[in-house]
Chains A and B, each alone.
Chain A
Amino acid sequence: MTVSNNGTAGDPGRPDTRFKTFFSFLITFVLLFLSWLVLSGKFEPLLLWLGAISSFFVAYYFYDLLFPDLESNYAGISFRFICYVPWLIWEIIKANFHLLYLAFHPRMKDLIDPHIITFKTNLKSDIAITTLANSITLTPGTITVTATSDGVFKVHAIDRPSAEALPGTMLEKVAKVFGEQI
């Protein structure tokens, strides 16, 4: 087992580590309790206490599952990610209309031109690569076939215009969100 429970391995006494542990515990607890509130929908004191206690125990034992390596700029990344989502939804809507037009077009087979493109990015972290891969798949016209850990993407595109949009702006935005070089 490589998962260390703060007390057994590493430097348990360092205030930095302890702060991170407490912070990830706090975020996990808040997220769990919020989902308890939303899913239960009842605000009787007994149920609130039960939710708080069970969230506390789950967060206490599993705080390192949701946020395994909490960095100091987590808040910045989350904030920029939330700013990135509306742009992504707008792109999805635009591209969906394009795909809808293709689906209903009488001479569809002349319009589409499926092919696979490969491009290399300099993204390093797993979360950035995953975000870019899922964003590409969500944007209609393109599906990520493979994405490797050193940032090579293979993308199946349905026609030329949707392939030309890649990697382009989306890569820039994702790199900016996670503070990486392009």
Chain B
Amino acid sequence: MDILDILVIILLLTGLFFFLGGAVGIIRMPDFYSRLHPAGKLDTLGIFAMVTGFAVYNLHHFSIESLLLSIKMFLIVFFVFLSSPTATHSIVDAGMRAGLRHWTKKKRKG
């Protein structure tokens, strides 16, 4: 158990916690649009933390191969960071075009 292992464990647990928050948020939020907030975005930071954990664990035995593998892992993060906001935006746009109104506080009280 050295310091790198502890770092990896912390990163993986952080990622898991964010994914859990995302799942709970999807269930608890009141409507379509606000559900997309936790769905599309807690996942990006979750995947960032978890992949960083994997990459650090992978670099435990340092060599060119493991370095390249870690770079490949970060490529996944890069593409998720590009595609996740785009997908979220297009889902919201589809909802808007279909004429779905968003949940407001007033509507609930009145």
Contacts and interface: CB of A to CB of B under 8 A. Distances in A.
Given A143-B88, A146-B96, A158-B34, A113 B105 contact: yes
Nearest to A39: B72
A140 B85 contact: no
Most chain A CB neighbours (cut-off 10 Å) among B42, B84, B89? B89
A21 interface: no
Interface stretch (B5-13, B21-29, B54-62): B21-29
Size category of the A interface is 20 to 34
Interface in A55-108: 92-93, 96, 99-100, 102-104, 108
Interface of A: 38-39, 41, 43, 92-93, 96, 99-100, 102-104, 108-109, 112-116, 133-134, 137-141, 143-146, 156, 158
Interface in B1-49: 17-18, 21-22, 24-25, 28-31, 33-34, 36-38, 40-42, 44-45
Contacts of B93: 145-146
A41 B72 CA distance: 10
A137 B89 contact: yes
Contact of B102 (A116, A139, A140): A116
Contacts of A144: 85, 89, 92
Interface of B: 17-18, 21-22, 24-25, 28-31, 33-34, 36-38, 40-42, 44-45, 64-65, 68-69, 71-72, 75, 81-82, 84-86, 88-89, 92-93, 96, 102-105, 108
A12 B26 CA distance: 56
Contacts of A92: 41, 44-45
Given A103-B28, A114-B33, A143-B37, 17 more contacts: A38-B71, A38-B72, A41-B69, A43-B64, A92-B41, A100-B18, A103-B25, A108-B29, A109-B108, A137-B40, A138-B84, A140-B41, A141-B37, A143-B33, A143-B92, A156-B33, A156-B92
Given A100-B42, A108-B28, A138 B81 contact: yes
Nearest to A89: B48
A104 B42 CA distance: 13
A39 B82 CA distance: 19
A52 to B, nearest CB: 18
A103 B68 contact: no
Most chain B CB neighbours (cut-off 10 Å) among A143, A145, A158? A143
B102 to A, nearest CB: 5
B36 to A, nearest CB: 6
A115 B24 CA distance: 21
A96 B41 contact: yes
